[in-house]
Structures are given as structure tokens and as C-alpha cells.
Amino acid sequence: MKIHEHQAKEILAKHGVPVPNGIVADTPAEVEAAASKLGTDVVVVKAQIHAGGRGKGGGVKLAKSPAEAKKVANKIIGMTLVTPQTGPEGRKVKKVLVEEGMPIDKELYMGILLDRQTSRVMIMASEAGGMEIEEVAADTPEKIIKEHVDPITGVKPYLARKVAFALNLKGDALKKMIPFIMNLYQAFIKEDFDMLEINPLIITKDDRVLALDAKVTIDSNALHRQKETMTYRDLDEEDPMEVEASKFNLNYIKLDGNIGCMVNGAGLAMATMDIIKHSGGEPANFLDVGGGADEEMIENGFRILLSDPHVQGIFINIFGGILRCDILARGVVGAAKKLKVKVPIVVRMEGTNMEEGHKILDDSGIDVIVADGMKDGAQKMVKAVK
């Protein structure tokens, strides 16, 4: 689950990670008041959306007075911010974070994430702050510092020192960086972060160490024990159809094509998208109804697929294991009748109770194209939508 920058900073501050003073505001008037309250010569007004690259898109502006802060807020709040990560449709800005301006001396990068190769948490740091870390990794991999953390010990001072020295820090900044890294790791573990990026992490001219930006995602599997963080979920930042699907425990991801897919199992669902593409079609979505789907879930799946106006046909590919084909067939018949489905439906079923499933489809009187194998299904589907 993604959260906003100001929320991430709130959590980090709770764990003793220094962040600039800041106030969240919804309106230009509130921004003006916030700037006066902060009382610094310069404030920064930052759009709060769940996507990176906000600065390049015009979503981050400096202001030298509360009045100017109000003026820039007028432009930012309500704007549709387009960044490389939002896609061309952009994201509407509803909130901004007003922060004190900082006398920056050095911009660094620090990230914490899971390293799948070692199955350990890894700290990544670089002196090339403010840049995309992927670019740094591609151009100058030697500039990236990587340290793996043993879960038994966590980040001990020696490990934090190793990173701080590698970042070429000295004096007060060096001393302050050590608890900064240790606290950052604590926050990562205690709050079940999936990924944490501080870019830039700044050293000020008076040798303070602060997280100037914070990008965090929370492990969705751990939300049961992060009740407070769950209230940070911002549904406006998510695709409405994906939100709807998640209510029914359906795993749905919207894509750009015109063939709606309904599949059981994540791997088979991906493979189904692939085979549609190989057959000359374009998948409209990824949809995994899971192993324990019932008739109601199938119906909800149908409703979600059909609410995408681009969908011109539906390909159902089920390998029945726990999910029985007769249940699936009943769900398909029920949904097709209830929702008065007008687009062609191709069904490929195999596995448990397959014969019974086919009989239910045959007897139903609804117009279903039955396929023998997933290749046949994909080809029939592509033909039907052309």
C-alpha cells in the first residue's frame, strides 16, 4: 500500500528520524497560514500525490513569503499533475505539504528494501542524491553502497558507521548519520515497510541530517497489525475499478486492451494475458479470482470486467483444482443472465468436474463459445472481437 509523503514523514518522525517542520493544507488560505506559522524565510509547497517526479511536473514550488506561498498554492491545489509515474492522465492534487526551506549543503540518497537474492533487508545509499537511483545504478554502479542486515542483530552502530563513512561524511554530520540510519531501519521493520526511499537525504550547512523527501510503501500482507497506517489509505489515488475489485477479494489490474480476462491463479492469469497477445489480441486486464471463488465472486468479477468500456469480449480460463468447474459454470450463467452480457464470452474449463460444468453451459441457452485448451480459447476470443 502506498502512502503520501507527509504521512511517511509522520511515521518516520515517530521513530526519531529528523524531518523538516511541515504542515498539511487543503486550501491556499491554509497554505498562507501554515507559511506564517512556520516563520522561515523560505517555504516549500509540495503536492501530495502517490507518484514520484512531482518537481519536474511543477508540483513542488518555493515561496519567499506567506503571500507568495498562497499564490503558488493556488496553482498547485486542484491542478492535474502529470509526472513520468502518473501516466498521461495525471493525478489531481488535493493536498499540499508546506515545509520550512532548508539550507542544503549536500544531497544524498538512502533506500531500504528487501534483497530477494539474499532474502535479507538491504540498505542502499549513494552520494548522488536527488537523482533517480535506477539511473545511478545503470551509469555508475560503483557509486551505490549496499549493506545487508542480519535480522538477528538489526542495524548495529558499526553497520551504520560503515554506511556513513562510505558516504564520505565527517564531523557532526557523521555523528548524526549513525542514529539516523539505525532509526530508519527501526521504522522500516516496526512499521512493516515494503520499500523506503529518502531522496534526497540532506546534510544542511549547519550539519543537520534530515529526510527532505520520503517515499514509502507498506507491506499489504502486514496491514492486519498496522491498523493506524491503514487509515492512511487514499482511495482517490487508486484505480476505482481496482478498489471495487479489492472489496470482493478479487485481484484485478487494469490494462489497455479490449479482451477481458477472468482466470484462477496468478501465474495462469499472467500466462493467459501472454497467450492473448501471442494470438494477436490485447488483454484488458489481469484478474485472478483465486482458488476459493464461488458463484458470487464470479458474478462480481463479471461486473468489474464489464464496467471497463473498452472490453469487447470476455475470456474465461479456469483450471479447476479447488475451484470446481460446475461452480464456475453456474456463476457464468448466472452473471450472463443477470447482467445481460452482450459481448462474446469464450470459456475454457479444465480440471475438477469439467463435464458437469460443460453440461451447465450447454443447457443454459446463453451464447458461450467453448474452447478446447487455452490456445484455442485465445484464438477464438481474438477472432470474436475482430
Which residues are catalytically annotated? Answer: 109, 197
| φ, ψ dihedrals at 263, nearest 5° | -140, 155
Biggest alpha carbon–alpha carbon distance for the chain: 81
CB-wise, 150 or 367, nearer to another protein?
A: 150
Give the shortest CB-270-to-another protein separation in angstroms: 4
Beta-carbon contacts of residue 105 (< 8 Å; ≥ 6 apart): 202, 203, 204, 205, 207
CB-wise, 9 or 324, nearer to another protein?
A: 324
Give the shortest CB-138-to-another protein separation in angstroms: 8
Q: Which run of H or E residues covers position 175?
A: helix 171-190
For the stretch 32-37, contacts whose Cβ atoms lie closer than 8 Å and that sit 24 or more positions apart, written own/partner, are 32/66, 32/67, 32/69, 32/70, 32/73, 33/66, 34/69, 34/98, 35/63, 35/65, 35/66, 35/69, 35/70, 35/98, 36/66
Distance (Å, whole) CA 35 – CA 138:
39
SS3 labels along 18-38: CCCCEEEECCHHHHHHHHHHH
Give the shortest CB-291-to-another protein separation in angstroms: 7
Residues 244 and 304: beta-carbon distance below 8 Å? yes
Give the shortest CB-21-to-another protein separation in angstroms: 30
CB-wise, 273 or 361, nearer to another protein?
A: 273
Residues 210 and 18: beta-carbon distance below 8 Å? yes
Distance (Å, whole) CA 274 – CA 151:
38
CB-wise, 251 or 364, nearer to another protein?
A: 251
Task: Count CB atoms within 10 A of the CB of residue 55.
Answer: 14
CB-wise, 206 or 372, nearer to another protein?
A: 372
What are 54's three cell numbers?
A: 512531482
CB-wise, 151 or 171, nearer to another protein?
A: 151
Give the shortest CB-43-to-another protein separation in angstroms: 32
> Burial of 139 by CB count in 10 Å (0-12 exposed, 13-18 middle, 19+ buried)?
exposed
Give the shortest CB-80-to-another protein separation in angstroms: 21
Residues near another protein (CB under 8 A) are: 114, 116-117, 119-121, 133-134, 137, 150-152, 189, 192, 194, 219, 221-222, 224-225, 251, 253, 255, 263-271, 273-278, 283, 286, 288, 291, 319-322, 350-352, 373-375
Q: How many residues does the chain have?
A: 386
